[in-house]
Copies of this chain bind each other. A is one copy, B any other.
Amino acid sequence: MNFMKFFFKQVVLVNGFVCKDPKVVKADDFSLSGLDMPGDTGNKLGFNVTPANVNQIPGLNTLGISMVRIDYVPKGLHPPHTHPLATEILTVVEGQLFVGFVTSNGEDGNRLFTKMLKKGDVFVFPQGLIHFQFNPGYTNTVAIGALSSQNPGTITIADAVFGSNPLISDDVLAKAFHVDKKTVDWLQAQF
């Protein structure tokens, strides 16, 4: 619904969400439970993202921010990805985390910035840059992140490049990654 209208008796865009009668808006429209519960990390990469964005909290619509809980098993990886329309700021609540991002092209470009984070550390991943998080430890890691969009979107590089539907032609990928098509086909087979 148009919560801004509700807040400020102001009419603002509703971003396509169905509008709700202000008279029936309730506190729960601004709330969500369960960010204290580990997510399901039973996957190849050993990580899980529990979102708290406009899809879970309708009251976030038009407000330009959202939150996530991220769980990592030992050696769990949130693989290289970008958020096309958001910057992320993250703090480690439990465990340890090795994080990094790569700057864009250009003279002195594609620089990798990494840091080993311990409990209580905060790190920033600037909008649109490729970044990753890896748990190098022997215990689970939990992080709380925030993103500068009510619905930031994520592009996981490996999935988008080697696992798209349909697949990107191996002519293109072989040339892009300086390998032969067999290697590309084999890489694509992993997805």
Q: Which residues of A contact B (CB under 8 A)?
A: 2-17, 19, 22-23, 26-28, 30-37, 44-45, 52, 54, 57, 59-61, 63-67, 69, 75, 77, 79-82, 84-85, 87-89, 91-93, 98, 100-115, 117-130, 132, 134, 136, 144, 146-169, 171-173, 175-179, 187, 190-191
Pick the contact of A8 from B27, B108, B153, B191 — CB < 8 Å?
A: B153
- Contacts A11-B15, A144-B91 given: A115-B176 contact, CB under 8 Å? no
- Contacts A91-B144, A93-B93 given: A130-B187 contact, CB under 8 Å? no
Total copies of the chain: 6
Residues of B close to A26: CB separation below 8 A: 113
A and B contact pairs by CB, cutoff 8 A, 27 listed: A5-B16, A7-B126, A8-B153, A12-B16, A13-B13, A31-B123, A31-B124, A33-B122, A35-B121, A37-B120, A57-B122, A64-B148, A67-B91, A75-B175, A91-B144, A93-B93, A100-B172, A102-B155, A104-B160, A105-B160, A110-B159, A110-B163, A112-B166, A130-B157, A130-B160, A157-B176, A179-B190
